[in-house]
Structure formats: structure tokens, C-alpha cells
Amino acid sequence: MENEYIIEMLNITKEFPGIKANDNITLQLKKGEIHALLGENGAGKSTLMSILFGLYQPTSGIIKKNGQEVHINTPNDANDLNIGMVHQHFKLVECFSVLDNIILGVEPTKGLFLEKKNARAKVMELSEKYGLMVDPDALISDITVGMQQRTEILKMLYRDNEVLIFDEPTAVLTPQEIDELMKIMKNLAKEGKSILFITHKLNEIMEVADRCTILRKGKYIGTVNISETSKEELSRMMVGRNVSFSVNKKPSKPGDTVLKVEHMTVPSKVHGNNAVKDVSFNVRKGEIVCIAGIDGNGQSEFVQGLTGLEKVSGGKILFNGQDITKASIRDRSKMGMSHIPEDRHKHGLVLDYSIEQNMVLQRYWQPEFESFGFIKSKAVREYAERLIEQYDVRSGQGPVTITRSMSGGNQQKAIIAREIDKDPDLLVAVQPTRGLDVGAIEYIHSQLVAQRDKGKAVLLVSLELDEVMDVSDRILVMYEGELVGQLDPKTVSVEELGLYMAGAKRDPVPEEV
Amino acid sequence: MNEKTKNALLSIVASLVCIVIGLLVGFIILYCINAENAVDGFTRIIKGGFYLKPKGIGSEIAQSAPLIMTGLSVAFAFKTGLFNIGAAGQYTVGVFGALYFAIILHMPWYVCLLAAMVCGAIWGAVPGIFKAYFNVNEVITSIMFNWIGLYLVNELMYNTIPGMYDQKTTRTYKLSSASPKSLIPDCGMNSIFRTSSTTIAIFIAIAIAVIIYIVLNKTTFGYELKACGFNKDAAKYAGINEKRNVVLSMTIAGALAGIGAGLYFLSGASEWNPQVSTALPAIGFNGIPVALLALSNPIGVIFAALFVAHISVGGAYLPTKYYQPEIADLIVAVIIYLCAFVTLFKGIVANLFKSKKEQKANANADNGKEEKK
């Protein structure tokens, strides 16, 4: 009789000097199932997958494939065992076509020449079979992130992999692309592929997975059947306590207007049209206003115009009554604007600086940290230590840790600590919870609400519908660079919000509230 | 041991590995050319200035000073994410500044040194302005300004300004006769080393290296410059004026190279030959390997420059009976060339310890929480 499990990782323990990253973990993957691996940042998911993929050797424990014990010493061994992985950051050659990327490393040759005809046929067939619909001749640099991910999936299929590991595949996708990926994953499972799905998004697990294994702090917590569990139970197992999904907050008491945007227009860098067209609205003290919309509808350009990273071509920005349309970034910051940027690696942090140096990125020039041109290193250290403590930023070596070596969640916490601690009148938070686990998301949401309750204005830009509905006091929907609706999260339904985001519905937006 | 010390140690090991491999290749070349005398020749190179004490040591010190400055020039720009390949040109223009103020204006040495600095700074600033405001790659403008500077200086000294060029020696006038007070004081070092150009220039260079180190690591200005170098976008996000910083960084880099020229020529080590000087001064270009070998650390630059000066002087003592004079330059060039591979070696050295280190780093990241308990 054929073994029920295609991959078994039995009693895996992985010790690093002084630390057990995996402590007696057992993971059994059935043939043809979608098995989710759930855990907070740093729970040991990546270590476990690295062991399966041959990047690490376990200290103890065995791996079996189809009941036979196997030793996976290198990623090549994993490949030979038909184990494939889609990494969170894709491994694709930008200037190659989809087809060239798929055959890269296993190029079919005829004599000295490439023989791509059969490869193309095979790719087309696979693409058809699993509904991937990828154009084999398109250049990677020209296609969307979602298509790039499909190319990665095709790479695994082309190599006849049976076990497919997806490492947080939805972190980079739009809601539509996520839906499509879910369909593809179900298709793959139906055709007999076994899928390991690393994630910390509970909705996705509930939607596609058959079973779920939960890790916490390197330990095995349990494996559950998704049909017999709930989101609440999963999050309890993952975090070790109850997590509230709805944000606790009192009704908002908006005060004076802090930010007033009048007919703002920002040109696009990609095409000739304006990315932001004639946008007008205001944000008052003590309220969280959320700009919702599908990615790429001008939100990024809007934020860049608002914070001074890019020049606006028309309109006016009034901040606390002053015209800041042409003010420098530093001046906006001085006047009390904080900005949690969309891309924490590009804008938010100098990754090669230590965490304490990053903590003062917006204030190193203030008298508190500077005298006669010299940085007061003691003051910086103390300040960083306070923020690290207060905002629970975890790192290997405290304030001197190089920021690059920290986990994404803790990098984001560091930015949030820095921006909130400036005590700004207006906090511009752009996708502040992107790629974070539920524990961290809960924390960041509570911080945003705390700012609001302190009487500060918060402008949240988010792609996550749950976040939009839970956190905001007022929703503005942006579609193709225009504001197409102002909605009340208490009365609007997710479906209706979706119609506005997709451009199917629009109302005039009042300039004054 | 924290990450910083670990990284510093790694850098030092990598630089040493580089030097050893460079020397090894140098020895192999010597051996191939003349096997019998290879050991003797190689010993002379390794001994450097110490082969001919005390004169050799004196000239080693004299050569180190300008090398430290051009090394600093390149290293400083590197820290801001710029490649200052124009140190040679800035140095050349600096030579003019120093000699004009000395031979024509008869100014004291420190004024001449300042003039050299200002000239170098102007020559560095132009590529910086082009880079910041017109987005022209600084490498291209720097290289063009190298040649513009060279021919401009030659023209000025040879034709335009009478009184700088000595027809008899076909060089600029000797400072010892034309303007003795423009010579940097030697404080008796010339008599100790029995040389004519060993002055306090070396101490000035070391002091400037220390100042640059402090500026980069302890001041808000250095903080801004490095932020621009590491991540331009984040610097902009933080409200740092990255365009101004690019110009300032290139200006300072140019000033450092200019000081280097002043230190060398105001020590009386050499005179400029406008007719023959159709090649850019090697000291300018050798700043690049010095900066690379030092991994752009200003304190490291001091030692890297001393080393490069050491083997350059040693190369001059190769027995010309067995080795053509060019061979000495070749060997030295090979060693310097290999020094430029230091980042590569750093990667290799890091890889040797990688399995151990990386696992630990990952474990730290994974289990930060448990550690906290």
C-alpha cells in the first residue's frame, strides 16, 4: 500500500549555538493536500523549511519521503527529490523571457544549441493544465508581480516537482491576484501536487488549506484540520493568547482640521497622464481617515506628493493652516508630519545603519542629539534603548544591531516607534502592517488608534480591506487617481466598498466634512 | 564581541590576505624573470625603505603623506556612494595652487597648502555639481576633469605665467632657492634620515585622517553623508538634502587630494615638469587602491598608504643588473592591483566562517524572543 504521507519531518530539532530554533517538530504532508504552516515572525517556520530544502541540517530528527528516510544535504538533493520552492523574493532574471527563466538551469540542448521547441510545448501544456495563462515570450521586467510568481510556479512544475513550498506567497500580491493564486493552488492540489503553504494570514488558510501545522517560538503546537477549526482557534494557537480581530476603539471625536488638500494633482512617472487627479479632502484631529483602493491607483504618488518626496503639479496642501505645497521634506517633518513609508527598505530605513542610528533618522539634528555638529552618541543610545523597550523592537544585539539583520516585523516596529515618538500632529501611515503577523498587526493598529485618541490626525493608506474596515473612522476610496467616494466604515459593507474600489460605483466627495 | 568589532576584524584579515597574495604573485613574477636573484630582489621589496636605512625610511615617509591624502580623498567619496576617480586631476590642480603661491607669491607654506586645498576643492566640486544637479555620472566628469586639469596646469606653468618654469632644469623652480619659507618645516627630520624632503607633512596627513574619521563617525554631517551613501532614498525621506551632500562630498574629496599635492611639492620632494608631465600623477590614482585596501576606513588609509609607499620605495632598490627598472614598477603595480581585490577576499574570508556565523545570526533572528527571556 502506498504511504499516506509524501513528506514526513519527524521530531526535527535544530539547535544553533545557544538557541533551539526548532524543538522536536513533526510535520507530515499528505499527498495532494494543501498544508499550511502557521506561526509568528521568528517562530521557526523558515528554519524548518530551510531544513526541508537542504539549506540546513537538522541537529536531530529524520525526514522521510514516501516512507523512505532521505538525507537532504543541499538544495540540489531537494530538487532530485522533486521538492520545489517559491521564495518570497523571486529568483528570476529580469531581462529574460518567461520561458528562458523556466528552463534556466535545465536548458534542453541539441549539440551546442538551445532546443526550446519542446520546452515551449511543455510550458504551454502546463500553463494550460493549471490555468496559469502565462505568456512564455514576455520579459520578466514587463509582467506583473502576480505573473512573475506564476513563472516561479511553472519553474517548479517544469521540473516535475511533487512537493511545492510556497513561502508567504501572498505578501506581494493584490487582492485579485491573491484570489487567483488560491484557485491555482487548489488546482495544483487537485492534480496531485502536495503543497506546503507558509503564511500568517488566517483568512487564506481558512480558504484553501486542508490542514494546518502551528509553530510557536520554535515549538510544535499542533496540527489541525481546517474544517474543524476557526480563525480564533488558529490565532490562539499561534500567538498563545486570544487575539481580537476587531480593533477596540471608542467613537472618534474629530476636532479642528489638521490637513487640508485642495485639488492636488501629481504627474505619473510611468505614463504621460497624472497619477493623482484633482484630489481634495481634509483630515481632522482625533480621526483616522483611510484612503482605500486597489494597488496602483495613485495612492503611492499621492503620498509622495503629500510628504514632499515628489513635486505636485497642481493644487494646494494646507497643514495646520499653513501652505506647505512647496515646503521641503525636513520642514514638513519639523511642522509635525510623520510618515510611515510604504517601502520600509527603500525609504524607511538605512539598512546598513545600526538600529540606534535609524531611530534618530528624523531627529539626529535636534539639540537633544546634536551639539556643535557632533552627534551625542550617549543620548542616541539612551533614546534608542527607550524606544526599543517601549515598542518591543526585538533584535540580536540591541541598539547596535545592524538593521539589515533584523526581521521585517521588527524593522517595521522600529519605523513606527520612530515616527510615533516624534509626537506628530499628522501621522501618514502607508500600509503599515504589510507582511506582518497578527500579533504585530494588532499592536500597530492599537498604536494608530492610540494616536487618534490622543487627539492626533491619522491618514492611513491601505490595501487590506480588513484594515480599512476595522481601523478607520472615515474611508476615502481612490480609483485611477481620483477620490470616488467617502464612506462610513460603520455602515458600508465590504461588498459595497469593493464596488467603489473597482470603479463600478462613484459619488462626489465633499471637500469639507 | 559585537557585529562592528567582528566586521572590523574581518576587514583587517581580508586586507592582510590581499597583501600576502599580492606579494606572492610579485615573487612569482620575479622568479619567472630571474630565478637566481628572485629571493634577493623580493627581500628588497619587502624591506622597502628599511633596505637602505635611514634614507629609505625618510623617503618612504615623504611618499606616504600625499598617498594618505589621495587615499582619503577616494575613501571619503566612497562613503557617500561616489567614486572619485578624479583624485589625480584634483591633485594636479593642487600642485599648481601650491607652486603658484610659493614661487610667484612667496607665501609661507601653510598659505600655499591652503591654496592647494582650495584648488583641489574646486576641481572636485565641479563633477559633484554635475552629478547632483544634472545627473551626470561623476566617474565620467572626473576623468575628463583629470585631463582638463593636467593640460591646463601645464599650459599655465609653461606659457601663461612667467617665472614658474625654469628653462635650465626644464622644471618648475626649486623651492629651496626660489622660496625657502614655502617649504614645510622638517623639524630636523631631514638630518635624521639624511634626506631632503622628509618633513612634518606625514603628521599633517595623519592628523587629517583622524579628523576625517571623526567627521564621518561622530558628526551629524558624517551621519548625513553616510546615509546618502548607503541609501539615497531613505536619506531623502529623512529630509537630508542629498544633492547638497553630493557636492560637498566631492568638494571635500577634492580638497583632500589638493592637500596631498601641497604636502608633496611643498616638502621639496619634486618639481613639476610641464613638458614631460603628459601623464597624470600616479599618486592620484594610487589613492584608489589605498582606499580599497583600507576598505574606505580613514584610519585604515594611513596604514594602507604606508604599505603602498613601503613597497614602492622597495621596488626602487631592485638590482637593475638582473631586473629592468620597469620590473620594479610592474611588481609594485601587481601588488597594488591585487590590493584592490580586498572586498572579494573579504567575501571569501567571510564565507570561511559563514556556516557558523550565519546559523547563529538566523538563530538570533528566529529566537529573539526566547533570548529576551
CATH 3.90.1150.10 corresponds to the domain A5-239: no
pLDDT value at position A308?
92
Provide the β-strand partners of residue A322: A319
pLDDT at A279 exceeding the cut of 80: yes
pLDDT value at position B300?
93
Q: Do B218 and A44 touch (CB under 8 A)?
A: no
Could you please report the per-residue DSSP string of B22-75? Answer: HHHHHHHHHHHH-STTHHHHHHHHHHGGGGGTTHHHHHHHHHHHHHHHHHHHHH
Q: Is the peptide bond before B54 cis (omega within 30 degrees of 0)?
A: yes
> Where are chain A's structural domains?
5-239, 257-501
pLDDT value at position A246?
66
CA distance A324 to A316: 8
CA distance B271 to B139: 29
The answer, for B219 touching chain A at a CB cutoff of 8 Å, is yes
* A positions 405-434 inside 8 Å of B (CB): 405-407, 410
Beta strands in chain B (DSSP E): 165-166, 171-172
The answer, for B227 touching chain A at a CB cutoff of 8 Å, is yes
Domain harbouring B252, CATH code: 1.10.3470
Instruction: Report strand pairing: A288-292 vs A457-462.
Output: parallel
The answer, for A79 touching chain B at a CB cutoff of 8 Å, is no
pLDDT at A430 exceeding the cut of 70: yes
pLDDT value at position B367?
44
CA atoms within 13 A on the CB side of B321: 6
The answer, for A304 touching chain B at a CB cutoff of 8 Å, is no
- Tell me the whole-structure pTM to 2 decimals: 0.76
DSSP A270: S
CA distance B88 to B296: 18
High-pLDDT (> 90) share of chain A, %: 41
Q: Cβ contacts (< 8 Å) between A43 and chain B: which residues?
A: 366
To the nearest 10°, report the CA torsion of B300, B304, B307, B309. -130
For residue B5, the chain A residue with the least C-alpha distance is A400
The answer, for A154 touching chain B at a CB cutoff of 8 Å, is no
pLDDT value at position A118?
87
Contacts of B10 (CB under 8 A, 6+ apart): B346, B349, B350
Cβ-based neighbour number of residue B215 at 10 Å: 18
- The answer to whether residue B353 sits within a structural domain is no
Whether the CA torsion A467, A473, A479, A484 is positive or negative: it is: positive
**Hunting for cell 513635486 — which residue is that?**
A311
Q: Do A401 and B231 touch (CB under 8 A)?
A: no
Q: Do B230 and A353 touch (CB under 8 A)?
A: yes
Task: Please give the ipTM for the structure prediction.
Answer: 0.79
Residues A351-386 pLDDT 10s:
999 999 999 999 999 999 999 999 999 999 999 999
- The answer to whether residue B334 sits within a structural domain is no
Residues A100-123 pLDDT 10s:
999 888 888 887 788 888 889 999
The candidate with the shortest Cα–Cα distance to A21, out of B373, B369, B2, B354, is B369
* A positions 172-231 inside 8 Å of B (CB): 217-218
Q: Which of A352, A375, A395 sits opposite B223 (nearest CB)?
A: A375
Q: Do A400 and B218 touch (CB under 8 A)?
A: no
Q: How confident is the model at residue A243 (pLDDT cuts 50, 70, 90)?
A: low
CATH 2.60.40.1120 corresponds to the domain A257-501: no
Mutation choice for A interface testing from B6, B10, B221, B223 by most A CBs within 10 A: B223
Q: Which of B2, B218, B239 sits opposite A329 (nearest CB)?
A: B239
The domain of B50 spans 38-318
Residues A454-507 pLDDT 10s:
999 999 999 888 888 889 999 999 988 889 999 998 888 877 887 888 777 788
pLDDT value at position A231?
84
The answer, for A300 touching chain B at a CB cutoff of 8 Å, is no
CA distance A340 to B250: 32
pLDDT at A403 exceeding the cut of 70: yes
Domain count within chain B:
1
Q: Do the Cβ atoms of B313 and B60 come closer than 8 Å? A: yes
For residue A56, the chain B residue with the least C-alpha distance is B359
- Overall average pLDDT of the A275-297 stretch: 89
- The answer to whether residue B124 sits within a structural domain is yes
* B positions 162-191 inside 8 Å of A (CB): none
Q: Do domains A5-239 and A257-501 have the same CATH topology?
A: yes
Q: Name the 3-class secondary structure at B367.
A: coil
- The count of residues in chain B is 373
pLDDT value at position A248?
73
Q: Do A396 and B364 touch (CB under 8 A)?
A: yes
Q: Name the 3-class secondary structure at A492.
A: coil
Provide the β-strand partners of residue A262: A316
CA distance A377 to B136: 36
- Given a cut of 50, the residues of chain B with pLDDT beneath it are 357-373
Instruction: Check residues A307 and B7 and name the one with the higher pLDDT.
Output: A307
Provide the β-strand partners of residue A7: A29, A65
Mutation choice for B interface testing from A14, A16, A74, A395 by most B CBs within 10 A: A16
**Hunting for cell 499527498 — which residue is that?**
A31
Name the helix (H) or strand (E) containing B253.
helix B242-265
